[in-house]
Amino acid sequence: MDKKTYRTLDLFAGIGGVRMGFERAGFETIFGNDFDAYCKVTYDLNFKDTPLVVADIAKIKSADLPDFDILLGGFPCQPFSVAGYRRGFLDTGRGDLFFEIIRILRDKKPRAVFLENVKNLSSHDKGRTFNIISEALEDLGYHVTTKVLNSMKYGNVPQNRERVYIVGFKSKKALEAFEFPKPVELTKTVNALLEKEVEEKYYYNKSPLYKVLKESMTSKEVVYQWRRKYVRANKSGVCPTLTANMGMGGHNVPLIKDHKGIRKLTPRECARIQGFPENYKLPKNLPDTKLYKQFGNSVTVTVIERVAKQIKKALDSGNNDVVSRAPAKRAGRVLQPTA
């Protein structure tokens, strides 16, 4: 039997990091959704064939969605992160969005589900939040496995980024055939991903902070962080976790020292550290603050691709029960991308 091209539904899509990883593994994206209109600018620039639908997922009826084989969801992580308030499902409008995933899974019954979130999801509320998630998936007939993967160990990118990955299959045979990817050697350095020529606007040389930064930032081989009142060196030799507040005066702004002085990472450098390919386009009509937020909120593409390849192998191994390769059926109203 020919290997199947599996169709994906890309929810909480952001700028398409999860989509890109799965497409590089051989999947086909047939629908993408996010609530952020700024993400649509970046997403549509790179994925013209299936533009982003900007809408509240709670207002999208399951009947209006196309048929698909696997649901992808990097659902909002702020309710579960250390940096956030850790309110979990009590964070109405963000934490409870997980139940929209459950609703769509219940109604559409895809053969698999892939979810990504911050590492602390597994320990939030003494493990009760994670148990709710696992039990909800299992109640729908999904056989679930999870693992925390660090981008620097599984994606060959110089970033210390730990995320929990949740994979579920309707077929027990597929779950038995699935295994998370093995660690790979880290061969890329931050310095190797830096741009050669950088605009002056990224430098702190004329900033009131420069004197404080200069005293602490002595090496060109180290990535530093401005922690509101002091500078911290990231001694692991890689970039600390990129966050959404990088461009908004947050306390996790990665800083480096180069031949011209002290500066923050550029959006393109953040894209590289997240494993995005060089041909990924950055819109010129968005401010850097939006781009920093988008890449901080995104995923490490190279890690996603490796997990996606393992998912495809598992689905192919249980190909005796796959659906027809006929074009996807669309029920009800076909959703159109928001302009």
Inter-residue contact 216 to 142 (CB < 8 Å): no
Inter-residue contact 114 to 73 (CB < 8 Å): yes
Least confident segment among 15-19, 21-25, 133-137, 305-309: 133-137
Structure token pair of residue 214: 């200069």
* Calpha distance 205→193 (Å, rounded): 22
CA distances from 252 to 80, 194, 226, 248, 298 (A): 18, 18, 6, 10, 16
Inter-residue contact 312 to 298 (CB < 8 Å): no
Judge whether residue 84 has pLDDT over 50.
Answer: no
Q: Is 135 exposed, middle or buried (0-12, 13-18, 19+ CB in 10 A)?
A: exposed
Judge whether residue 80 has pLDDT over 90.
Answer: no
In the chain, which ranges are continuous DSSP H helix?
Answer: 17-24, 37-46, 98-108, 128-139, 151-154, 172-177, 210-216, 267-273, 288-297, 301-317
CATH architecture of the domain formed by 7-183+297-321: 3-Layer(aba) Sandwich (3.40)
Closest residue by Cα to residue 238 from 227, 217, 214, 254: 254
Residue 244 binned pLDDT confidence (cut-offs 50, 70, 90):
confident
Least confident segment among 11-25, 59-73, 111-125, 149-163: 111-125
Judge whether residue 53 has pLDDT over 90.
Answer: yes
List for the chain the helix, strand, coil content (%; round to 5): 35, 20, 45
Least confident segment among 6-10, 117-121, 179-183, 298-302: 117-121
State the pLDDT at residue 246: 79
Least confident segment among 245-259, 288-302, 312-326: 312-326
Q: Which residues pair with 159 in a beta bridge?
A: 239
Residues involved in catalysis: 77
State the pLDDT at residue 68: 98
Judge whether residue 333 has pLDDT over 70.
Answer: no
Inter-residue contact 242 to 274 (CB < 8 Å): yes
Least confident segment among 1-5, 184-188, 287-291: 1-5
Structure token pair of residue 89: 């499902």
CA angle at residue 74 from 63 to 134, to 5 degrees? 80
Residue 91 binned pLDDT confidence (cut-offs 50, 70, 90):
very low
Fold that domain 191-294 belongs to in CATH: DNA Methylase; Chain A, domain 2 (3.90.120)
The model carries a pTM of: 0.88
CA angle at residue 180 from 179 to 184, to 5 degrees? 130
Closest residue by Cα to residue 283 from 108, 44, 70, 67: 44
State the pLDDT at residue 126: 63
Residue with tokens 């902070």: 209
> Can you give the residue ranges of every domain in the chain?
7-183+297-321, 191-294
Judge whether residue 81 has pLDDT over 50.
Answer: no
